[in-house]
Amino acid sequence: MLIHSPTKNNMNKFNNWKSYTLLGLLVLVIASIGFGILWMNQNTDNRSDASVEGGVGEIAISPSTLDLDPNEAATVAVGISSKDVAISGFAFRLKLPFSGANPPIAISNLSKTGSAVDWKCDLLKTYVQGSEVLVDGACTTSQYEGLVLTPITNIITFTVTAGSEGLSQPLTMTFDQRLTKMTKKGDATQDIVAVPNSQLLISIATPTVSPTAHLTPSTTITSSVTPSTTITSSITPSTTITNAVTPSTTITSSITPSTTITPSTTVTSRTTPSVTKATTPSPTLAKCNVKCMANADCQSGLICSSNVCRNPQCLNQTNCTCSVSGQQIASGSSTLPVTANEDYTIMFLIVGVFLLIGGTFMVSAKAPSQE
C-alpha cells in the first residue's frame, strides 16, 4: 500500500485551522479574565458604592459634644437630608474606638423617632467588636415615589450612658464611610450621600471625693478684776492745855485720805479651733445580679436593668458573662447590602481554563492523511 503525504493545500488548511483555534481560545481566556477582574472591582470597591465626594445627601449625628458625669445618660440622634433628591433608603455605621478591657460607655434604646412614620428600619443594632463600640442602622421608605428631606431630619435615636469611671481624654464617635450610604429612588445602585464629617465627642468627668470639715467650738474664759479705790479716814485727837486753871480742850480733826488702787487683771483663755477632715467612705457598689435602684449602684461596666446589676451587652445573663450565642447576637454580621461576589469570576476562569486545555489538545492532534 502506498501512503501519500498530505498535499500542500491540505497542509495550509490545517495550519489555518490551528491558528484560528489558538487565536479564539486566547481571546476567550483574555476576555474571561478581564470580565472577572471588572466584576470583582465593581463589587469590592466599597467607596464607589458608599459615601462619595461631592454627594448632595447628608447624614449627621447630634449633638456634637456630650459632657457627662459618671453613670449619667443622654440621648443622641442620627439625621439625614437628601436636598432635592428623592431617596428610597439609607444605611450607616457609627464606630467609637476605646482602650481597656471594657467600653467606658453603654449604648441602648435604639429606635425610630416619632416623626419617622414613613420609614421602616429593619436593622438597628449595637455591639462591641474588638476595641470598638459599633452602631448599625438601615432604613427604607414606604412611599412609592420616595422621600425628599430638607433640611436634616432626625430618624434614629439612642441612649448613651457613661460608666462609673471618668476619662482623661474624650472619646470620638464617627461614621464609617464604607458602610454609610443613601440610595436614590429608582436607582438602587446610585449613592448620593457625601462623605460624612459629622462626629460626637464624649467626655466623662472624673469622680471626686469631697472632704467633710468638722469645727470644734472655741471657748474663751475672761476673768477681770475691777480696780477699787479705798479712802481711809483717820481722826487724830489733839489735846492742848493752855492754863492750868481753865483747861481748854481743842480737838483737831484731820482726815488723811488713803487711796489704794488695785490694778485690773484680765485672764483670757483661748482655745484654738481645730479642723478635722473626715473622708466620707465611698459606698459599696453592687455586684452582678445584685439589686439596685440606678446605674450608680452598680460596679464598673454594669448597669441597673430591672432593679438588678447586669452587663449591658447581655442583659439576660445573670452572671454578666456573655455566652457564645449572645456574643454571636452582639457581634453578628450586619445586614447591610452585600458588596462583593466572586462566584461569577471563578466560574469564568474555570471555563476559560477548560477551553484552553481542549483547544491545545485539538491542535496537537494530527491532520487526516490522504491515500
Contact 163, 71 (CB under 8 A): yes
- What pLDDT, on a 0 to 100 scale, did the predictor assign at position 126? 97
Of 282 and 254, the one with more pLDDT: 282
Q: Which domains does the chain have, with CATH numbers?
A: 58-204 (2.60.40.680)
Distance, CA of 195 to CA of 181 (rounded, Å): 9
Distance, CA of 344 to CA of 32 (rounded, Å): 10
Q: How many CA atoms lie within 13 Å of 113's alpha carbon, on the beta-carbon side? A: 13
Residue 20 pLDDT level (bands cut at 50, 70, 90): confident
Of 150 and 1, the one with more pLDDT: 150
Q: Is it the case that residue 301 has pLDDT exceeding 80?
A: yes
- Is the alpha carbon torsion for 61, 62, 65, 70 positive or negative? negative
SS3 221: strand
324 contacts: CB under 8 Å, gap ≥ 6: none
Instruction: Report CA-CA distances (Å) from 4 to 10, 11, 25, 115.
Output: 12, 13, 32, 92
Summarize the confidence of residues 330-339 as an average pLDDT.
42
Contact 123, 335 (CB under 8 A): yes
Number of CB atoms found within 10 A of residue 269's CB: 9
- What pLDDT, on a 0 to 100 scale, did the predictor assign at position 38? 65
Q: Is it the case that residue 37 has pLDDT exceeding 70?
A: no
pLDDT digits (tens, 9 = 90+) for 313-323: 898 888 998 87
**Its pTM surpasses 0.85:** no
Average pLDDT, the chain: 75
* pLDDT over 70 percentage in the chain: 63
Residue 353 pLDDT level (bands cut at 50, 70, 90): confident
- What pLDDT, on a 0 to 100 scale, did the predictor assign at position 66? 96
Instruction: Pull the grid cell for residue 116.
Output: 419617622
Residue 281 pLDDT level (bands cut at 50, 70, 90): low
Contact 255, 233 (CB under 8 A): yes
pLDDT digits (tens, 9 = 90+) for 65-89: 999 999 999 999 999 998 889 999 9
Instruction: Pull the grid cell for residue 59.
Output: 447624614
* pLDDT over 90 percentage in the chain: 35
Task: Calculate the CA dihedral of residues 338, 341, 343, 346 and round it to 10 degrees.
Answer: -160
Most confident by average pLDDT, 45-59, 158-172, 230-244, 339-353: 158-172
Instruction: Report CA-CA distances (Å) from 73 to 4, 86, 102, 162.
Output: 98, 35, 18, 6
Most confident by average pLDDT, 83-97, 180-194, 332-346: 83-97
pLDDT digits (tens, 9 = 90+) for 232-244: 445 455 444 344 4
pLDDT digits (tens, 9 = 90+) for 94-118: 999 999 899 999 999 999 998 888 8
299 contacts: CB under 8 Å, gap ≥ 6: 164, 285, 286, 287, 288, 309
Residue 161 pLDDT level (bands cut at 50, 70, 90): very high
Q: How many CA atoms lie within 13 Å of 52's alpha carbon, on the beta-carbon side? A: 15
Distance, CA of 151 to CA of 13 (rounded, Å): 73
